[in-house]
Structure 1
Amino acid sequence: MGIKRILSLVTVTMLVASSVVGCGSKGGDAAKGDKVKVDIFQFKVEAKDALEKAAGVYEEKNPNVDINIETVGGGNDYGAALRSKFQSGQEPTIFNIGGPQDVKDWEGKIEDLSDQPWVKDAFDGTLGSVTNDKGMFGMPFNQEGYGFIYNKEVFKKAGIDPATITSYDALDKAVKTLDSKKDELGLEAVFAVPGKEKWVTGLHLLNTALANEFESGKQAYEAKKLDFKYNKELKELLDLQTTYAYKPDGKVPSINSVDYAMQIEQKYSTGKVAMVQMGNWAYGGIEGVNKDIATNSGILSMPIKGVKEDSVPVGVPMYWSINKDKSSAEKDAAKDFLNWLYTSDEGKKMIINDFKFIPAFKGYESDELKPKDPLSADILNYANKGKTMPWVFMGYPSGWGELVVGSDIQKYIDGSMTWENLVKNAQKTWAEERK
């Protein structure tokens, strides 16, 4: 899900030829020495099984290293859980941070990774949000993109060519066509909107408007005020979804009870809705329910009317960081594991085949290392055509996207807040946080 927590700010670069070889890439320096435990506290639910598999393989090569993984994501607030973890004294060795705000918030705990062998192979733009004059503090998880995941078979039956949906007006027309043919298409609704998930609305949906206001997450981080130039266009995009969304009790407020699992697994993956706002990370969940629908899925743009209508937001969802207060042995083992995972031949195959990641590093140019699922392929296609917009939401004030705007969107959906007041509160709270 990216998230679930996310994100950052990146211009996607085409994969270019380069071989990645680094210290520790075959099990390296951690293969010998005293027993050492590495605790990983990570956010990506979709990567949980693959990460545990990778840790197991690494442990076989390095019997003195014990890797313990804890995953907090999905419907849970990773940032709050991470703070709680540190406050309890159970500090992990490896954990996740987002953009410049997280670098500032965690500056007393994060290790400078500037000297790591993978740094030279990170794509241009992927390290800027975790770099300042004191160092570079994060290893990119991967690259991800999101938009409207759609069911190709349903579109075909409805007589809709997805290639023509490159504007808000075209999307609006397609949505109304799908709605008019719901019965014959076997749909309960056109969309499933996870109103319960404030990260979907307060981070990802909001980003489509603010990525047209700010050039990068770093610029958003440095901005003292929010103009919210395209709030009316954002409202239009949200209203289109909620008007034609699945409603558990038939009424709009009940959209706020729909969570990620219901959206992806219960509705989209069973063919009961034609579209969902989500990213390429959802492929594994869809495939786990229905392989046919998974292989017949694609991604459409999320158009902000009159601005950038044919592009998708693409960025680095999170970064791996290392707790600088851990022992040298723990930190060395943590660095070795991450380097092995992303740069060894064995690790790279797992990154593609098990994690199903779009890499943020050079060295994945061979055919066997190119992403194979159609959602990732679509994201790369948008990137190769230059039809992307940055992830600026990790430049938001801490917690602001979810706790303020995400919460207010829930109130807007249930009718207890007007859009005008939502906009005013967003501007007011942004300015207060930036003082």
Structure 2
Amino acid sequence: MRKQLKVAISLVCLMMFIGCSASPVSQQTTKITLLNSKSEIKTQLEELAKQYNQEHPEASLEIITAPEGTSAYQKLMSMYGSGSPATMSMLDPGDTQTFLDKAVDLSKEKWVADTIEHGLDTVKKNDTVLGFPFAVEGYGLIYNKKVLDKAAGGTFDASSVNSRSSLNSLMAKIQKSGVAPVMLSPMDWSLGSHLLALAYSVQPGGVPEFVKGMQNNSIDLSQNNIMSGWVQTLDLLKDNNINKHAPLDSTYEDGSKALGEGKVGLWFMGNWAWNGIKSNDTANEEYGFLPLPLNDNTDDPINSKITVGVTKYIFIDSTTTTPQQQEEAKKFLNWLVYEKSGQELLVNKVNVIPAFKNIDLVPSDPLSKSIKSYMSSGKTLPFMATLPPDHGGITGASIQSYISGKIDKAELLRQIRIYWKAQQG
């Protein structure tokens, strides 16, 4: 009897083992995270991640957006300090340089060959590709066409602005039509990393030589024609600013609201601002970009160009991520470039101008279309991609002091030179 019981128990155990073995093994989900440095597309990226997770149940992608007012660079430094960096991090080109020694080698990825010319220059180290070019962006003077048509007394011709004098004339016409000419937003990243960088990018000897000249005192900024012209253009923006009596009081959101509602004709900003403008525009008006002229020479090509370049790169962490997480991160990046759903979400949902030649989709928003037009006609200036991480904060603060009347031109230029001299160490 005891022997029969043992046999019965053995048979039950065997059946249970066979049954367990026959049941499907649950698929393990690999969690990956993306640190987002573009707070204005937080919602869109979260929707993109949701779609990706539905199509790829083996992965769980989470978007971590740096809080407003906190740079993604600072956020990532903190994450590394605590030993828990994101799987992928989206940063400005200059900020990315700090982390390239922690990045996964992406040289063998298919999209490397499909990247636009010079799109990988700033994320290469000894010919090794360490970053993914996420977005091409551009900036200049965004215009509300309805406001400018009224000011011009007909159809506004964007090509008519090709000198500081012609921009001054346009602003006078806008003012006469009863609308404030321009919004000059006071954020340090806009003033320092974008507005000031425009003067660097067109220096005849190139940016490295220009910086070197400031550091060894061989260049006197007050005698530099481009810098002098830049200050005069800054004065034009300052004097025609809708908030000229309180130039530091407006916010980024105030700019999109003022332009979208037609309270200003121009706003110095980039195409990343489209969602904000659109949300404030109930009449679905037309918009585009004008260059920011730096002199009065109508034949100078820089007066007819806007700044365009790859402005965000994604790198995959190699220090704490598992091989599986690295592979899932690579799959996600390839999905953005080669899968139809990824392309459409990137271009039409996130409103990104892709940095890949194989993607034919053009964002539907007018600002991206305007940038593509400048690109196709060869009228672009290089985006200053590798400014030091603190450049915007420090030089932007100096420009804030200037536009609020606390310092004069000589002091502004002195502070810019002092900033670059401090970089020598």
2:148 corresponds to which residue? 155
What's the TM-score once normalised by structure 2's chain length?
0.85
Contact 2:181 2:242 in 1 (8 A): yes
> What's the secondary structure of 1:314's corresponding residue?
strand
1:263 corresponds to which residue? 255
Unaligned 5+ segments in structure 2 are 1-25
| Aligned counterpart for 1:354 among listed residues 326, 331, 349 | 349
1:54 corresponds to which residue? 48
| Aligned counterpart for 2:359 among listed residues 364, 387, 394 | 364
**CA distance in 2: counterparts of 1:288 and 1:403, whole angstroms:** 28
**CA distance in 1: counterparts of 2:381 and 2:103, whole angstroms:** 28
Residues 208 and 222 of structure 1: CA distance in aligned 2, closer, same or farther (over 3 Å): closer
1:224 aligns with 2:218: no
One-letter amino acid matched to 1:213: Q
Per-residue Cα deviation, 1:238-272 (whole angstroms, up to 9, x for no partner): 1111111122xxx53x211211111112x111111
Shift of 1:234: 1.3
Higher relative CO (Cα under 8 Å, sequence separation at least 6) belongs to 1
| Aligned counterpart for 1:112 among listed residues 95, 100, 105 | 105
Shift of 1:214: 6.5
Contact 2:35 2:72 in 1 (8 A): no
2:4 corresponds to which residue? none
Contact 2:133 2:312 in 1 (8 A): yes
**CA distance in 2: counterparts of 1:344 and 1:324, whole angstroms:** 25
**CA distance in 1: counterparts of 2:352 and 2:403, whole angstroms:** 33
One-letter amino acid matched to 2:368: S
1:339 aligns with 2:339: no
| Aligned counterpart for 1:72 among listed residues 43, 66, 69 | 66
Percent pairwise identity: 29
| Aligned counterpart for 2:81 among listed residues 77, 83, 87 | 87
| Aligned counterpart for 2:290 among listed residues 297, 300, 307 | 300
| Aligned counterpart for 2:236 among listed residues 237, 240, 261 | 240
1:174 aligns with 2:167: no
Per-residue Cα deviation, 1:13-53 (whole angstroms, up to 9, x for no partner): xxxxxxxxxxxxxxxxxxx9532111111111232222212
One-letter amino acid matched to 1:309: N
One-letter amino acid matched to 1:192: M
Contact 2:159 2:304 in 1 (8 A): no
One-letter amino acid matched to 2:53: E
Unaligned 5+ segments in structure 1 are 1-31
Contact 2:105 2:130 in 1 (8 A): yes
Contact 1:41 1:70 in 2 (8 A): yes
One-letter amino acid matched to 2:79: K
> What's the secondary structure of 1:292's corresponding residue?
coil
CA RMSD of aligned residues (A): 2.1
2:265 corresponds to which residue? 274
| Aligned counterpart for 1:211 among listed residues 198, 201, 210 | 201
Contact 2:141 2:290 in 1 (8 A): yes
Aligned pairs, how many? 384
One-letter amino acid matched to 2:212: K
Greater displacement, 411-420 / 198-207: 411-420
Shift of 1:72: 2.1
2:136 corresponds to which residue? 143
Per-residue Cα deviation, 1:173-222 (whole angstroms, up to 9, x for no partner): 1001111221xxxx3x2111111x11110011012211111787xx5499
1:98 aligns with 2:92: yes
Contact 1:214 1:220 in 2 (8 A): no
2:277 corresponds to which residue? 286
Shift of 1:144: 1.1
